[in-house]
């Protein structure tokens, strides 16, 4: 279920009777290590959770008349299994009548067999990505968006079976005559032609012959987008930014949306998300050079809809005395950030609402954050930890906690920001660090790299570097990492060196493939003695990689908006949050990305001689 957006209308888990109990946090919690020190504590990446005592675990009695609130990943009950029975417990479940490849919009009815055939076990369906696959209560699978998703069928006894389904885009049989063309657009065969490599827009834009008219106008040979793909929530907007080659081209740009029911675009390039799905915005120069922006629009269910769906599909559990117990517990927040000394009250919901239960809490590292018997978390010192809530019958959920001393404000820059007046940036008093793009792909260095480093060093602005990747394999990732390292070898940054991975084609690869690409790149950086970090948009981390395999690495997460939006879209640890791409800073002629940093990277990097600072 996308986000924990139910938090603002639900009641907290009520405190009543304090009863001491012990339980184990998850395996992930046991191995969680603060990424800020992961580089030099590799041998300690598996730690033991702090002993559970009365000071950090307590239970709360919740009256059955009280209704608590929570959401979980969509779970539905098969229509074929209307009742549950302790007799004929399923020992095996097998999926049949299934399809492994679908196009967007296709659907089929999933069927399964229980063994023994007399079993009356209820069955629940889950999908690993509702953006790719949705599943109805009767087992009907529907392809929603491009990508790969795993559908799992689980019997009440715990046995399960799963299938992996790949969803591709439906064949585009539309033509420009079928899609209204916006004022100023020029219709051509190119606009509707299929382009399998369109996600590599930044490197593979369509070119046109350069021309100089008799009136002196200069035609563009190429158009490049700042972002080749964006993901928006219905109602959000995004301003298209581009550059032309040659840079003195006098061409103007027209825009057209392939599907206006998903996203529209204004004459000045402002994209508005309308309805859920995937579409493209065709950007065309006067001379005919064009490129496409890939747009994915997602939507969130309302709080009431999510709660109702969960209540309807809950699998009831009873103890030996026939008492209805908790089937699931979900906390409102998946991740939070606290300044040292600040507190946060845990809230959530237990399903079903009529269940009788107790809840206990524990912290994986009480030196970073503690939790009271009433469920109040307090930041103690800088670092990361996990707070686990557990019902008396073993249902758990967790909150990832980042504790910081103070917020450091910074920017990230590239050629897109033009010629920067770093003296003015420094005098603005609003920038305490900068992350500079050094390179992209395996043969391109940002043309403003040297100038930006020189400016930061001259005016004493701490800086780090990032590399934008197009790698589609482990070998390509290593090749790009080595190019990146060569581009920055003459500098000693006191902020992390970062892998920027966000191309839309990663959504169509398996999570395992993308995770291995990230790991390969990170290993190259760390083997060279650098403090490595991963950057991407919030949903990338849940949809494209296995974060439990990347927990050793620090994260710089992009989620433009306020803290509520970040909490709804991201549920893991992070050290830097990019909260805007339209910032204004004195000395920078173009809009600039703005960031909050929650760790003292410079001190850590210097202390351990990373990034060449020990030379």
Place of tokens 């382009």: 195
Gyration radius (Cα) of the chain, Å:
26
Whether the bond into 352 is cis, omega within 30 of 0: yes
* Residue 527: pLDDT over 50: yes
Report which of residues 111 and 519 the model is more confident about.
Answer: 519
Report which of residues 248 and 209 the model is more confident about.
Answer: 248
- Check residue 301 and give its pLDDT: 57
Q: What is the DSSP string of 439-507?
A: EETTTEE-TTHHHHHHHHHHTT--EEEEEE----SHHHHHHHHHHHHHHHTT---SS-EEEE---GGGG
Q: Could you tell me where in the chain the CATH 2.60.40.1080 domains are found?
A: 27-72+314-404, 76-170, 189-298
Lowest mean pLDDT among 13-27, 190-204, 439-453, 587-601: 13-27
Summarize the confidence of residues 221-242 as an average pLDDT: 87
Options 3.40.50.300, 3.30.2270.10, 2.60.40.1080, 1.10.10.10; CATH of 27-72+314-404? 2.60.40.1080
Q: What is the pLDDT of residues 406-418, one digit of tens each?
A: 889 999 999 999 9
Q: Which of 432, 429, 436 is nearest to 407 (CA)?
A: 432
Percent of the chain with pLDDT over 90: 41
The mean of the pLDDT values for the chain is: 78
As beta bridge partners, residue 383 has 403
Options 3.20.20.80, 3.40.50.1220, 3.30.230.10, 1.10.3720.10; CATH of 408-607? 3.20.20.80
Q: What is the pLDDT of residues 90-140, one digit of tens each?
A: 877 777 556 778 888 888 887 777 777 778 888 888 898 888 899 988 788
* Residue 360: pLDDT over 60: yes
- Check residue 105 and give its pLDDT: 85
Q: Which of 225, 252, 247 is nearest to 238 (CA)?
A: 225
* Residue 75: pLDDT over 80: no
Instruction: Spell out the CATH class of 76-170.
Output: mainly beta
d(CA 470, CA 477): 8
Split at pLDDT 50, 70, 90, the class of 223 is very high
d(CA 92, CA 119): 10
- Within 50-171, strands assigned E span 59-62, 76-77, 92-96, 101-103, 107-109, 111-115, 123-127, 133-135, 140-143, 147-155, 160-168
* Residue 383: pLDDT over 80: yes
* Residue 178: pLDDT over 80: no
Burial 539-554 (b: 16+ CB within 10 A, else e): bbbbbbbebeebbbbb
d(CA 499, CA 445): 14
The conformation of residue 543, written as its DSSP 8-state character, comes to H
* Residue 376: pLDDT over 50: yes
- Check residue 490 and give its pLDDT: 95
As beta bridge partners, residue 218 has 212
Split at pLDDT 50, 70, 90, the class of 530 is very high
CB 237 within 8 Å of CB 253: no
Q: Across 49-53, 167-171, 285-289, 523-527, which has the greatest mean pLDDT?
A: 523-527
Summarize the confidence of residues 252-268 as an average pLDDT: 92
Q: Could you tell me where in the chain the CATH 3.20.20.80 domains are found?
A: 408-607
Residue 129 half-sphere exposure toward CB, CA atoms < 13 A: 26
Split at pLDDT 50, 70, 90, the class of 203 is very low
- 73 to 31, 88, 329, 593: CA distances (angstroms): 24, 28, 11, 32
Report which of residues 294 and 25 the model is more confident about.
Answer: 294
* Residue 202: pLDDT over 60: no
* Residue 247: pLDDT over 50: yes
Summarize the confidence of residues 591-612 as an average pLDDT: 92
Summarize the confidence of residues 216-236 as an average pLDDT: 86
d(CA 439, CA 452): 13
- Check residue 302 and give its pLDDT: 54
Report which of residues 233 and 191 the model is more confident about.
Answer: 233
Instruction: Spell out the CATH class of 189-298.
Output: mainly beta
The conformation of residue 157, written as its DSSP 8-state character, comes to T
- Predicted structure pTM score: 0.55
* Residue 40: pLDDT over 80: no
Strands 592-597 and 369-371: unpaired
Summarize the confidence of residues 485-512 as an average pLDDT: 95
- Check residue 195 and give its pLDDT: 33
Lowest mean pLDDT among 90-94, 470-474, 556-560: 90-94
Instruction: State the Cα angle at 125 between 122 and 131, rounded to 5°.
Output: 165
- Check residue 101 and give its pLDDT: 80
Q: What is the pLDDT of residues 267-319, one digit of tens each?
A: 999 999 998 888 889 999 999 898 989 888 877 655 566 677 777 778 889 99
């Amino acid at each position: 279920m996308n986000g924990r957006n139910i938090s603002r209308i639900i009641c907290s888990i009520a405190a009543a009777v304090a009863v001491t109990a012990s339980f184990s946090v998850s395996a992930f919690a046991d191995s969680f290590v603060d990424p800020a020190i992961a580089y030099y504590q590799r041998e300690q990446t598996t730690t033991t959770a702090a002993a559970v005592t009365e000071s950090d675990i307590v239970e709360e009695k919740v009256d059955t008349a009280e209704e608590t609130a929570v959401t979980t990943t969509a779970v539905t009950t098969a229509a074929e299994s209307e009742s549950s029975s302790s007799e004929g417990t399923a020992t095996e479940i097998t999926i049949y009548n299934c399809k492994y490849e679908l196009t967007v919009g296709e659907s089929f009815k999933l069927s399964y067999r229980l063994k023994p055939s007399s079993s009356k076990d209820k069955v629940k369906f889950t999908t690993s990505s509702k953006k790719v696959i949705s599943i109805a209560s009767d087992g009907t699978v529907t392809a929603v968006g491009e990508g790969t998703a795993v559908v799992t069928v689980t019997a009440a006894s715990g046995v399960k079976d799963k299938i992996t389904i790949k969803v591709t885009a439906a064949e585009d049989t539309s033509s420009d005559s079928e899609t209204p063309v916006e004022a100023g657009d020029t219709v051509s065969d190119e606009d509707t032609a299929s382009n399998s490599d369109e996600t590599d827009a930044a490197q593979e834009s369509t070119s046109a012959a350069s021309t100089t008219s008799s009136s002196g106008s200069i035609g563009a040979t190429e158009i490049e987008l700042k972002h080749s793909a964006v993901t928006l929530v219905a109602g959000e907007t995004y301003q298209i930014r581009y550059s032309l080659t040659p840079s003195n081209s006098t061409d103007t740009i027209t825009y057209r949306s392939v599907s206006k029911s998903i996203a529209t675009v204004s004459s000045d390039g402002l994209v508005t998300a309308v309805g859920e799905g995937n579409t493209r915005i065709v950007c065309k120069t006067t001379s005919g050079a064009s490129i496409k922006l890939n747009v994915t629009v997602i939507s969130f269910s309302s709080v009431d809809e999510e709660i109702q769906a969960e209540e309807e599909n809950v699998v009831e559990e009873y103890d030996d005395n026939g008492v209805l117990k908790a089937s699931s517990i979900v906390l409102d927040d998946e991740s939070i950030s606290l300044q040292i000394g600040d507190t946060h009250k845990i809230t959530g919901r237990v399903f079903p609402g009529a269940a009788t239960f107790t809840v206990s809490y524990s912290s994986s590292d009480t030196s970073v954050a503690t939790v009271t018997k009433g469920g109040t978390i307090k930041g103690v010192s800088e670092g990361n930890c996990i707070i686990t809530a557990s019902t008396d019958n073993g249902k758990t959920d967790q909150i990832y906690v980042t504790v910081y001393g103070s917020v450091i404000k910074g920017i990230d820059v590239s050629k897109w920001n033009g010629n920067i007046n770093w003296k003015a940036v420094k005098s603005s008093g609003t920038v305490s660090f900068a992350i500079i793009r050094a390179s992209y792909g395996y043969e391109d260095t940002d043309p403003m790299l040297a100038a930006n480093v020189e400016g930061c060093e001259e005016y004493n602005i701490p800086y780090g570097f990032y590399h934008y990747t197009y790698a589609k394999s482990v070998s390509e990732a290593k090749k790009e990492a080595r190019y990146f390292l060569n581009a920055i070898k003459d500098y000693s940054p006191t902020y992390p060196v970062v892998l920027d991975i966000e191309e839309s084609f990663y959504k169509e690869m398996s999570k395992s493939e993308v995770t291995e690409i990230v790991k390969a790149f990170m290993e190259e950086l760390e083997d060279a003695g650098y403090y490595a970090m991963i950057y991407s948009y919030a949903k990338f981390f849940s949809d494209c990689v296995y974060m439990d395999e990347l927990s050793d690495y620090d994260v710089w997460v992009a989620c433009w908006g306020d803290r509520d939006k970040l909490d709804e879209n991201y549920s893991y640890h992070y050290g830097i949050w990019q909260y805007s791409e339209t910032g204004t800073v004195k000395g920078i002629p173009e809009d600039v990305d703005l960031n909050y940093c929650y760790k003292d990277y410079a001190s850590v990097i210097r202390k351990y001689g990373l990034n060449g600072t020990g030379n």
